[in-house]
A and B are shown apart, each in its own frame.
Chain A
C-alpha cells in the first residue's frame, strides 16, 4: 500500500488556452500580456527566442518583431482551470487547486505501482483530448517530489516515480528546480557544494538542523520521500486574477463615458471577488483603442479591499491623463489580483488611520446590494458612476450566456 501524489502543471497555460481558439498560431512564438504591458506567459517557441516573464511589450515588439502578442483573457483561463480540476476529480477524490494552472491529487491507496502510472497517463490524455492543450504530469511519494517530477520532462512530460525509484529518477536534477528553494538560498547551497537535489537530500539531519531553518528541514524530509505537506481538499487558490471587460459601440474618447464603463467593470469585479470571499490587493485598468492598442495603469492598495470606491477614486484621477486626444476607445477592463483574507481578519488588517472602518461601512452597503443580487438575479442596485454605461450598446460574448469557452468563428 503506497500513497502517491500527482502533480499537474499546464504547459505555458495561458498561451495553451489561447491556442485552443487560434489554431493558426500553433508553432509560433506567442506571448500574452498585451493588456498589462509586460509578457505574462510565453509559448515555448517564444521562450526559445529568449523572451522571459515580465519582458516589456514595447521592447518585445522591437527586439522580436516576429512574436505574436495577445491580450490576456482571465475569464477563459479560469474556465479552463475549472475544467482541469473537474477532470482530475474524476480520478481522485482529493484534489488541491493549487493555482490557475496547477493542481495536486492524492492517488488512492492501493493504487500504487503500475496502477498509479496508468492513472497519470489517463489524466494526462483526458486533459489533452477534452481541453485541447498539453499538461506535464509528475507522480511521486510527496508533493515536493511530485512537483519536481512534473518539471523534469516539461513540456508535455510524464514522469511517474514510486518509493523505490524516485531517488534514481529525480536526484540528478538541479536543486534550483525544487519548489521553495529560492534565488537567495541557492548560491549559498552551491557554495557548500550542494548542487543537485540528491546532494541536498543525502545530507545528514544534523547538517540540516545545524545550518538551515525549519522550512528547509521540511523540504529535506519531503525530498527523502517522507510526507510533510498534505494534499488538502478543495480550492484554496492562493490568489486569483479577476477580469471584467466590456466592449461597446460607438467608440469614444469622452472621459465620462469611459469612466462609466470602467465603473461598471470595477463594480462587477469586486462583486465577484466578494462572492468568492476574496479581497484585492492590486488592480490594473486598461482602455483599448479601436486599433487594438492598450493604455494601462496599475494600482496597489495598502490594505486588501472588497469594495470598489477606493479604486474608483483613483481611476477618476488618472483617467484623463490616460486618454489620448487622437484615439478612440472601444473597450475598457479591470483585472483584480485577489486573495483570501487571513482567518479571523474579517475586514483585513486594522489600520492606524481608521481606513478599515471606512472599508467596513462600505462593505456593509455592498453586502446589501449583493443580497438583492442573489434574490433577483441581477444588479438591481448599482453604482451611480456606472449609470452612463447603462444605455450603451454592448457586444457580449457567447460564453457570458452559456458558461462554455467560446472558440470564435467557424466557416
Chain B
C-alpha cells in the first residue's frame, strides 16, 4: 500500500505547502484530501505522528496549530568567539522564525522605516519593523505613536505623569504631546535584509 511508504517528513512537506498557500493548517477533512485518505482513522493516525514529532499541536476542539518543529530554521545561538559545543546546540533546540518573532499573531503588523530619526537605536531607513497592537507601552520601549494624523517611530519616555516621544538622533527634538498621546503599537522586531 502506498500509505505505508509515506514518511512523516513527506506528510509534513505537504502540510507546509498547504500552509504556505492558505496561511492556516488544514482541517481533518482537508488533511484527508491532501493525503488521499478516505478513512478518518488513518488521518488521525498521521496527526498522532505529526504531534509526536511536534510538527503540529491539537487544541481542545481538535483543531491543528503549528508545533515547534513546523518548518524549522535551525537556531544556533548567538555568535561568539569559539564554537558552541554539541550540548549547547541541543539545548537551544529548533524553532520556527515566526514563533520566535511573533507572540500574538492577530495583533501583529509590519511597517517600513523612513528617515533617520532612530538611527542611533540602530534602526535605518528601509528597515522593517514588526509591531504589536493592544499592549501597554513601558518607558523605554520603541513605539509607533500617532502624531498629527501620521505614524511616528520613537522612544516612549514616561517620567511621573509626563510622557514624551524621543528620537534616537540629536537632529530631532523630543515631542511633548499637548493632548492625549495615542500609542498605536509597540515595536517587537526590526528586520534588515542584506541582498
Query: Taking beta carbons and an 8 Å cutoff, which residues of A are in contact with B?
Result: 20, 23-26, 82-83, 86-87, 93, 126, 129-132, 234, 275-276, 373-375, 377, 398-399, 402-411
Binds A, one of B39-47, B81-89, B107-115: B107-115
Residues of A near B184 (CB, < 8 A) are 23, 132
Do A130 and B17 touch across chains, with their CB atoms under 8 A apart? no
| Residues in A whose Cβ lies below 8 Å from that of B108 | 404
**CB pair B151 A405 closer than 8 Å:** no
| Cα–Cα, bound, A405→B149 (Å) | 19
- Give bound CA distance, A409 to B107, whole Å: 18
Asked if residues A374 and B18 are in contact (CB atoms below 8 Å), the reply is: yes
Tell me if B2 is interfacial: C-beta within 8 Å of chain A. no
A409–B111 touching, CB < 8 Å? yes
Q: Are A126 and B134 in contact (CB under 8 A)?
A: yes
Inter-chain CA distance A86–B131, complex, in Å, is 19
The interface stretch among B19-27, B49-57, B72-80 is B19-27
Which residue on chain B has the smallest CB distance to residue A125?
A: B134
Which residues of chain B from 81 to 112 have any CB-CB distance to chain A below 8 Å in the complex?
A: 104-112
B107 touches A404 (CB 8 A): no
Assembled-state Cα–Cα distance A251/B163 (Å): 46
Q: How far is the CA of A377 from the CA of B22 in the complex (A)?
A: 12
A-side contacts of B23, CB under 8 Å: 82, 403
A377 to B71, CA, bound (A): 13
A28 to B19, CA, bound (A): 39
| Closest residue on chain B to residue A276 by CB atoms | B22
Tell me if B144 is interfacial: C-beta within 8 Å of chain A. yes
Complex CA gap A83/B107 in Å reads 8
Interface membership of B173, Cβ < 8 A: no
Contact assessment for A402 and B60 in the assembled complex, using a CB-CB cutoff below 8 Å: no
Residues from chain B with Cβ under 8 Å of A411 in the complex: 114-115, 117, 150-153
Q: Check A130 against B106 for contact (C-beta < 8 Å).
A: yes
Q: How far is the CB of B67 from chain A (nearest CB, A)?
A: 18
Give chain B residues whose Cβ lies under 8 Å from the Cβ of A20.
109
Task: Name B113's closest neighbour in chain A (CB-CB).
Answer: A410
Complex Cα–Cα for A278 and B38 (A): 22
A79 to B36, CA, bound (A): 29
A234-B24 Cα distance, complex, nearest whole Å: 13
* B186 / chain A contacts, CB cutoff of 8 Å: none
A20 (CB) vs chain B CBs: closest residue: B109
